[in-house]
Structure 1
Amino acid sequence: MWTFGRKLSVGFALSFALLLLIGILSYRGVDVLTQTSYQVSRTHSAVGHIGSVMSLMKDAETAQRGYLLTGEESYLEPYRSALTNVPRVLAELKPLLRENPAQQTRFNQAATMIDGLMQLHKDRIETRRANGLEAALKTVSLGEGKRRMDELRAVIGQMEEEENDVLRERAKDVESTATTVRAAIVWGTVAGALLVLIAALTLSRALSGQVGTAVKHVQRSSAELQAAANQQAAGARETATSMTEISTTISELLATSRQIADSAQRVVVIAEQTAGLARGGDGTLQSARESIAAMRRQIDLVVDHMLDLGRKSQQIGVVLDLVGELAEQTNILAINATIEATVAGDAGRRFSVVADEIRKLADRMTASTKEIRLQIDDVRGAVNTTVMATETGSKAVDAGARQFDDVAASFAKIAGQVVTTTDAAREIELSTKQQATAVEQLNVALSNTAQASRETEASSGQTSQTATELAEMSRDLLRLVQSQPT
């Protein structure tokens, strides 16, 4: 079933389509008339140019005959004018004939004839000037100029006849187009009037039926609207009460959020102080680590020196072994010398004394070498003990350094945890502040909602009153519609 709006739309659409069709036909007719008028104007211009060419050629022929008979130059003025104007008129005429191939052919033929005639006129004028009247009349008596002029007249006549035929055809086209446009306007107007009349009758009937149905729907809807308005008023009162309770709860939540924000801010301050202390402890541990590293380097240096001392003690032992062997050899030599001195008697007594001194010196050297060896062995033992003690100390230093590294790593972790705690406390502070802001906004929104609920409660009465008035108006409209003829 079509609705009233759809029927109205279809009626207007048909009327618009018909009006558009009339406009299109009229526009096309006017456009054809305009084009035809332009072509007619161009054809008239072509006919005028053709007549001008023929008139100029006649003037040129008459002028040259007058000059041949009289010999006076004043007779040549029309001829000179033709020499100037004929090419111009032909140049203007040529584009006017471009749509007609037959006319173009005749135009080219006429242009050739005109050139021949003008040359013939020129030759006769030159003959008159050079040889006199008799020679000029003799050339005229041959009849060449008349023959050529007759041929030109024939071609020009054909061109004029062709253009006149075109004018008659275009006049018929104009009349036919005008008839079509008049018919389109007349019949389109009649059809439009009939269509509007039918649409008016159809819409009137549809208005009576559909508006009556719509009025009944409005009556039912007004009753439902009145009931809904009463329910809305009750709901608005309940909503206002709930909004008041929620607003109180939100206010308490806002106070709690502010306390949490203050506590979070204090946590941030304490965390920042702890982070500062952790960074200070990390610096102290770094200094202690550097001290242990320096101690380790000193111990390594002592170990190197002790090892060097042991190597030099071994070298001294080797030297002492050589000295001991040298002392024993010297002692043997001294004993042999003493024996030889004793055998020599008085001659070897002095040498015996020297040998005895050398032997005593060798004995003392041997004794000294043994003492030095004992001392070197003591030094070597002390060096070994020192090296072992130094290695033990070095191991202890390494263990202490590792412990310091562990402590430093623990401090670094503590510092990182403190930084994380600080960031978390700041985020908590920021989130709490945002929460407090959101709660404030929510409190404002709830206040606005409560106010809107109160306003809704107040407007529900107005809505109920409006529904009652709407029911009265629908009844009046129903009576008005039903009183119309269907």
Structure 2
Amino acid sequence: MFGRWTFGRKVGAGFAVAALALLVIAITGYQSARSLLANNALVQHTEAVRVETAKLLAAVVDAETGQRGFVITGREEFLEPYNQALGTVDRAYLELRRLTADNPEQQRRLDLLKPQIDTKLDELKRVIAERRTSLEAAASRIAAGEGKVAMESVRRIVKEMDDDEARLLAVREAAAEDSQEITKGVILWGSIAALVLTILIGWIITSSLSKQIGAAVRNMQSSSAELQAAANQQASSATEQATAMTQIATTIRELLTTSHQIAESAQRVSQIAGETAGNARGGTATVAKGSESVATVRKQVDQIVAHMADLSRKAQQVGVVLDIVSELAEQTNILAINATIEAAGAGEAGRRFGVVADEIRKLADRVGTSTKEIREMVEGVRSAVNTTVMATEAGSKAVDASAVQVAEMASSFKQIASLVVTTTDAAREIELSTKQQATAVEQVNVAISDIAQASKETEASTTQTLMTAAQLASLSRDILKLVQSDTTA
């Protein structure tokens, strides 16, 4: 139960127990001191009673002494002790009455003492009066022994009072000494007990708190070590992610450049196809004129041959451009595959980029397929041109077959025009797709830049976390050293 108490509760309980022990010692010491003071007061009271008793007896004796001196000498100055003793006797008797008010036995003795003192003083007064008239009368009064009996009674009663007070004094002095010894013992052993209890409580609290704080510090050390390991791993991952994002950004920039090149090539293909379509339309018009007049055909054969040669060159140029487009499509496909692999290595951050890269790869496949179709069309055009050239040469040899050849030529030109239109549409589609691809790549590039920035921020945050974990570990070590040193001490 004590082990589950809080820090403040343990310290408070320790101080409370120590304070309670000190309070008990203080109360016991106070009671002992009070008893000692009371016994000392009784001792002083008894001594005061004995002093007043002795003073009363001495005053009676002084009165008797003064009376005897006056009787012997007859001189008034010898009555000075007698006159002083009269006042002293009254004061001493009243003081004894006050001091022994709580002692019925002494009050009884005072009641017996008062008549004897009065008798003695009256006897002394009568003797003094008779001495003033006659020495013989005073001597006879003294010889009668009246005053002697009263004086012996006074001495006896005073002695009894003094003996009783002496007995009380011995008892009270013994009680005072006992109280003094008890007070000394309470103060000494109580202080020792309080010191031992305080040391014991301090040791218990210190040991408990040292164990509790030590366990907490060791847990903090373990947590800080785990935090450092996690921070190191996170920093390493952030660095690897930043490196991967840099590589992906480089690949994206290459892909963007390739996309621009494909767009430019598609635009050139479209221009060449337009020129081819114009040439085809020109060839169709030439064939139409040949239909009107076979004679004119022969004259136009050279022109047709020239057009066919030009058309063959254009078709060859289209083949060169298609080779470029096909090569760019293959490069795009390779780059898209590399980008997909890099995106897969980047984890969740590269998933969106992987989807875009996959779409780009599909688009590159479509471009390659379209390029193959256009190449087949161009080969068809070239084949048709060769056929037209052969037909033209045959027409120059056989005019009779010119009409059929012209019809074939017209059909061939229509096919060429149709293929050129298809080529133009495919080139425009490639150009549009490439522009869309470039836009998508730019968006991916922006996303990659954001991811790279986030990776840098994560790396910076991880570095700060690592520093915090190191500081926490250092602090826990310092606290543990302090606790262990306190426990050892």
State TM-score, norm by structure 2: 0.46
Which of the pair has the greater relative contact order for Cα pairs under 8 Å at 6+ separation? 1
TM-score, normalised to structure 1, is 0.46
